[in-house]
Amino acid sequence: MTILFQNVGIITKFIKDFIYPELGDKMAKRRIILATTEPGSPDPNSAELAKVIMSRVGLNPRKRNSTKDMYKVLIELYERTKQANKEKKPELSVMTVEEMGIAAGITRQTMYEYLNRWLDLNLIEKTSYIYQGNVIIGYKLNGNTLEQAFDKAAVKVKNNFETTLKYVKKLQKALKNEKLSRKMKTKS
């Protein structure tokens, strides 16, 4: 079972035009796909668990025959964060886009396309540091552990649902008011 969350059709137009017209065309077009993937074996290894996690939060590549190694980026981010905390050198936790692409087995440009989903979920954050006089820009796990990073992602998804629930309540009220308005017009 896959749950698809995206701004669609008439509800998006209604929200954009009537409830929050000040948003205009700023409404997000990206979507997050949550899946109910489970490990294939009763005692999965770290690679299998990482693949399941990536699938469940919608971070797997969506195109067929693209990389199957995206999970390695998640593992590498965790390992680097762990090492950075151990050595008390925060710059060790940062991965450049090139390094992420190499870990996933894809080009830097393709990795940039995938980064938006990671950032949308709040799993990683963009950061920079100075190394040998050069500014290095990269990304790091948004927490000291995988669990902390995924807690932040869970908050992001929960907040999205709460906002969506507010929109649903406004939509329900607007539909009721429109129906009453039509009844009043037909009676007149």
DSSP labels, 132-153: TTEEEEEEEESSSSHHHHHHHH
What pLDDT score does 36 carry?
Answer: 79
Residue 41, pLDDT above cutoff 70: yes
174 part of a folded domain: no
Q: How confident is the model at residue 11 (pLDDT cuts 50, 70, 90)?
A: very low
Domain count, the chain: 1
| Residue 92 domain-assigned (yes or no) | yes
Q: Please name the amino acid found at residue 90.
A: P
Is the model's pLDDT at 174 over the cut of 60?
yes
User: Could you give the CA distance from residue 33 to residue 114 in angstroms, rounded to a whole number?
Assistant: 13
Quick one: pLDDT band at residue 40, thresholds 50, 70, 90?
confident
3-state secondary structure of 70: coil
Q: Does residue 52 lie in a domain region?
A: yes
87 in any annotated domain: yes
In a domain, 172, yes or no: no
Q: For residues 187 and 153, which has the higher predicted lDDT (pLDDT)?
A: 153
100 contacts: CB under 8 Å, gap ≥ 6: 73, 76, 111, 115, 139
Residue 4 pLDDT:
43
Q: Minimal CA–CA distance to 95: which of 82, 81, 85, 107?
A: 81
Instruction: Decide if 77 is inside a domain.
Output: yes
Q: What proportion of the chain, given as a percentage, has pLDDT over 90?
A: 40
Residue 103: which domain range? 2-157
CATH code of the domain covering residue 128: 1.10.10
User: What is the model's pLDDT at position 184?
Assistant: 87
Residue 106 domain-assigned?
A: yes
Q: What is the pLDDT of residues 97-149, one digit of tens each?
A: 999 999 998 888 889 888 988 998 899 999 998 888 889 899 999 999 999 99
Is the residue at 46 inside a domain?
Answer: yes
Full-model pTM: 0.71
Average pLDDT over residues 159-164: 91
Which pair of structure tokens corresponds to residue 58?
């919608």
Q: In 3-state terms, the chain is what percent helix, strand and coil (to 5)?
A: 60, 15, 25
